[in-house]
Amino acid sequence: MSARILVVDDDAVACEFLQEALLRDGYHVEAFTSVSEALDRNLNDYDLLMSDIRMPDMDGLEFLKIVQARYPLLPVVLMTAYGSLETTMDALSMGAWDYISKPFSPDDCRALVKKVLELRDLRNNRTVLQPRTEKDDKFVGSSAVMVDFYKQIARVADSPASVLIEGESGTGKELTARSLHSMSSRRSGPFIVVHCGAIPDNLLESELFGYEKGAFTGADQRHTGLIESAEGGTIFLDEISEMSTALQSKLLRFMQNGEIRRIGGHEVRHVAVRVVAASNKKIDDEVRKDRFRLDLLYRFIVRLRVPSLREHKEDIPLLIDSLLARFGYAGVRLSSEAVETLMLYDWPGNVRELENVLQQTLLLSPFSVILQEHLPERFRHPEPSGNAGAKTEMTPLEAAQRDQILRTLIATGWNQTRTAEVLGIDRKTLRLKIRRWDLYKDRPEDDKPESPPGKER
Ligand SMILES: Nc1ncnc2c1ncn2[C@@H]1O[C@H](COP(=O)(O)OP(=O)(O)OP(=O)(O)O)[C@@H](O)[C@H]1O
Ligand SMILES: [Mg+2]
């Protein structure tokens, strides 16, 4: 059944224009020129409401509030006049799904309607996000830090040398291991992951090396170990620092000569397998604490450290877009304030934490524009700028930016347009930064504008 759209706009010509545009896509469209007429209907009969924001009998925000209360699941798109960004933002924070600025073309309008209806379907039919596919196993990020890291991966990918990957949790250690494998000539061979931390030690030994029938009670048939199964490919020993030092020495023997012997067996076999291991603990610390064998550490010819997300925050916007697309929400976008908020955060859980934040937000807020207040609680009330807490959290780069902006504002007589031009940033970004860092508090009293800064007029 085609979607039913209700249009409310006091301008009859606008109603007709919309009706015509949307009918072409086969939607069922009804239009009213007053809010009261619309409110007389049962809006459960519609899939989407498109409303003007300024109408004589009731303003669009008031209308939105009533619709939200009575029909909380009905997606609402507001049609806003050019330059009313502030009202638009209010509407979005009140729960409008999206907005379109007047004047708009029939194509823009059709594209938006299509997107919102798709999102509505997603939300109605899907409580889990799209499963991962193989093409998701790619690094995203174009920062200098990441480009340098890709180069390191590329340089060692095709060598048989064993690699130890270190990095905080959620940084992409497994992704790195997979990249090493898929960029090597072993890519058609197996890639076997062993979660060393999750398997008890004696079991881990028999899993890795295999056993002969009768090797121990319960070994009623021969079992090929994971190392052997990875022949011709890569074995990825995740959380290697969790392995006992006794097992570490058995692994060392294999890494020295590439030979293994199944438990309870006599035959020594040579296995051509590349060893890649990962640890989110710092291995040097583990060595110092006698929890990791130094001789085993030396068997790892290459050591790679995956950068933490806070070292390449400039990749966050790109990561957000790519993750949204990965989850099947390519039509969703984050407001620039929401993105900035995410960029100010420290990300102790790195990309995995960013993934979780976006998943949580998508499942709880089905809107196509995500605002700061839709983000999980810890992002909703960032430290008000200007107080000591916020200042100590400012990175040196941010502090330098703040100074530069403040100096330029003073030099241009607090002219935002000029300042944005001089600094080569857009005005919106400038306004966000002014608000975030509360820069107007540094302006002499008699200079202060009548209206608060940072609001679009
Ligand atoms: N640079 C990146 N670009 C895109 N996705 C990334 C990036 N880094 C990590 N990811 C994604 O983040 C998630 C965590 O990555 P991965 O499992 O490789 O991290 P990890 O370091 O092994 O984490 P843990 O320490 O928790 O085991 C994965 O879904 C991965 O695809
Ligand atoms: Mg991992």
Q: Which residue's CA lies nearest to atom 19 of ligand 1?
A: 172
Asked if residue 448 lies in contact with residue 414, where contact means CB atoms within 8 angstroms, the answer is no
| CB-CB neighbours of 22 under 10 Å | 23
350 with 308: CB under 8 angstroms? yes
pLDDT tens-digit series, residues 387-431:
433 344 677 778 888 888 888 888 888 888 888 888 888 887 888
Ligand 1 pocket mutation, candidates 164, 169, 174, criterion most atoms within 8 A of CB: 174
Closest-CA residue, ligand 1 atom 25, reads 169
Residues near 349 by beta carbon (within 8 Å), at least 6 away in sequence: 169, 170, 356
Its pTM surpasses 0.75: no
Has residue 231 got a pLDDT over 60? Answer: yes
List the CATH number of the domain containing 291: 3.40.50.300
- What sign does the dihedral 159-162-166-172 (CA atoms) show? positive
Rounded-to-integer distance, Cα 41 and Cα 31, Å: 12
Residues 10 and 118 both lie in one domain: yes
Say how many Å lie between the CA of residue 237 and the centre of ligand 2. 10
Q: Which residues contact 155 (CB under 8 A, 6 or more apart)?
A: none
Number of separate domains in the chain: 3
- Evaluate whether residue 455 is within a structural domain: no
Task: Please check whether residues 296 and 177 belong to one and the same domain.
Answer: yes
Ligand 1 binding pocket includes 140 (Cβ within 6 Å):
yes
Please answer whether residues 385 and 393 qualify as being in contact, where contact means their C-beta atoms are separated by less than 8 angstroms. Answer: no
Our measurement of the distance from residue 251's CA atom to the centroid of its chain's CA atoms, rounded to an integer in Å, reads: 37
How many residues in the chain? 457
| Contacts of residue 7, Cβ cutoff 8 Å, sequence gap at least 6 | 15, 18, 19, 22, 29, 30, 31, 32, 50, 51
Residue 456 lies in a domain: no
Where residue 309 falls among pLDDT bands split at 50, 70, 90?
A: very high
One-letter amino acid of 133: T
| Nearest atom within ligand 1 for CA of residue 146 | 1
Domain match, 88 and 162 both: no
Rounded distance from Cα 205 to ligand 2 centre (Å) = 20
Residue at 380 is within a domain: no
Q: Are residues 52 and 109 in the same domain?
A: yes
User: Does residue 210 line the site of ligand 1, with CB under 6 A?
Assistant: no
Same domain, 16 and 102: yes
Tell me what pLDDT residue 235 has. 97
Ligand 1 lined by 280 (C-beta under 6 Å): yes
**205 three-class SS:** helix
Give the residue whose CA is nearest to atom 15 of ligand 1: 172
Query: Domain end: 257, 285, 305, which one?
Result: 305
Q: Is the CB of 169 under 6 A from ligand 1?
A: yes
Residue 339: inside a domain: no
Q: CA torsion sign, 336 to 341 to 345 to 349?
A: negative
Q: Where in the sequence is the domain holding 88, given as residue range(s)?
A: 4-125
Residues 107 and 20 in one domain: yes
- Residue of 352, 353, 356, 358 with the most ligand 1 atoms within 8 Å of its CB, for mutation: 352
pLDDT band at 73; cut points 50, 70, 90 = confident
The CATH code of the domain that includes 16 is 3.40.50.2300
Residues 175 and 106 in one domain: no
Closest ligand 1 atom to the C-alpha of 165? 21
CA terminus-to-terminus distance, the chain: 42
312 lines ligand 1 (CB under 6 A): no
Contact 115, 331 (CB under 8 A): yes
Say whether pLDDT at 456 is over 50: no
Is 329 inside any structural domain?
Answer: no
Domain-embedded: residue 133: no
What is the pLDDT at residue 457? 36
Atom nearest to 139 CA in ligand 1: 3
Strand ranges, E, within 146-239: 163-166, 191-195, 210-211, 223-224, 234-238
The predicted structure's pLDDT at residue 454: 45
| Nearest alpha carbon, ligand 1 atom 8 | 172
Compute the average pLDDT of residues 201-229: 91
Give the whole-number percent of the chain exceeding pLDDT 70: 90
* Residue 9 resides in a domain: yes
For residue 103, cis peptide bond before it (omega within 30 degrees of 0)? yes
In a domain, 361, yes or no: no
Note whether 162 and 301 are same-domain residues: yes
Identify the residue whose tokens are 């180069």.
151
Same domain, 164 and 114: no
323 lines ligand 1 (CB under 6 A): no
Ligand 2 center to residue 193 CA distance, Å? 10
DSSP output for 273-326: -EEEEEESS-HHHHHHTTSS-HHHHHH--EEEEPPPGGGGGGGHHHHHHHHHHH
**Which of 305, 325, 352 lies at the terminal end of a domain, its last residue?**
305
Question: Pick from 256, 282, 305: which residue ends a domain?
Answer: 305
Tell me the three-class secondary structure of 42-107, residue by residue: CHHHCCEEEEECCCCCCCHHHHHHHHHHHCCCCCEEEEEECCCHHHHHHHHHHCCCEEEEECCCHH
Same structural domain for residues 234 and 287?
Answer: yes
pLDDT in tens, 167-180: 999 999 999 999 99
Three-state DSSP state, 408: helix
Q: 265-289 burial string, b = 16+ CB within 10 Å, else e?
A: beeeeebebbbbbbbbbebeebeee
- Nearest by Cα to 434 from 457, 395, 408, 396: 408
Q: Using CA positions, which residue lies closest to atom 5 of ligand 1?
A: 139
Distance CA 138, CA 116 (A): 29
